[in-house]
Amino acid sequence: MTDALTVSAVQYQALEGGIIPNVQEHVRLIEDAESHGARLVVFPELSLTGYNLALLAADGSWLQRDDPRLADLHEICRRTGITVVAGAAYREPDGTPRLASLVIHPDGTTELGFKTHLHGPERDVFAAGDGALMIELDGWNIALAICFDAAVPSHSTGAAQAGADIYAVSALYTQAEERRLGLHLGARAMDNRMFAILANLGGSTSLGPSCGLSGFWGPDGFELKKAAGTGTEVVTAILQRSALRKFR
């Protein structure tokens, strides 16, 4: 167990052209995060394609188990020792469609977290998950959320009751949602006495332009660090366990 954990939240403007060019850009950004000492790197919702549900009509926009297109992501995680959370549309072996967070570990294993609270037309495309995936890294418990999950307090409460130290949200918040974003992340952190992280999809999306503001919130609900703009940016913070102890 470590007293501090260095985490990078990547605000990411997805590239056109599908999964392969986005994997390559993820690799570059993970290398950037490594230079800042990151042990965990969190990307936004659907980071490997961008948020455009119309694209999911093509089979090539979906990932599956042992997908060879992820080979370079597995390699950068192995080489750097970094654990990565990336966003994708994923088909389970039985064909169940999921809006997923893929957790790629340095040892080559992959864990999958699924969006619990689907929103709007997502309900026509995906099957809902059943709560936050919890991962462990250096003695820290990290619960994963995807976008609208953070708008439902019971999602983070369940994670906190299961022992989460960090609530990591991969999302898309657009312009005019700045206040909503800040209230969601600050409240989830403060109410549950844990850190909150946001990796927001950047740039232009099918839902409108991103409002940016990826970053970190402390267990007191106050913002610790945020992105400067609305495009691609790596935001890194060192989270201290002593800050958690003050509120627990």
Instruction: Tell me if residue 23 falls in helix, strand or coil.
Output: helix
Which residues is 83 bridged to in the sheet?
Answer: 40
Which residues is 199 bridged to in the sheet?
Answer: 170
Predicted local distance difference test score (pLDDT) of residue 77: 98
Predicted local distance difference test score (pLDDT) of residue 168: 99
Element (H, E) at 74: helix 71-80
Query: φ, ψ for residue 53 (rounded to 5)?
Result: -65, -25
Extract the tokens encoding 127.
């099957």
Task: Identify whether the C-beta of residue 211 lies closer than 8 Å to the C-beta of residue 177.
Answer: yes
Q: Could you list the mean pLDDT of each consecutive 10-residue stretch along the chain, which spans 248 residues?
A: 96 96 98 98 98 96 97 98 98 98 98 97 98 98 98 98 98 98 98 98 96 98 98 98 95
Find the largest Cα–Cα distance for the chain: 49
Q: What is the DSSP string of 152-171?
A: SHHHHHHHHHTT-SEEEEEE
What's the pTM?
0.98
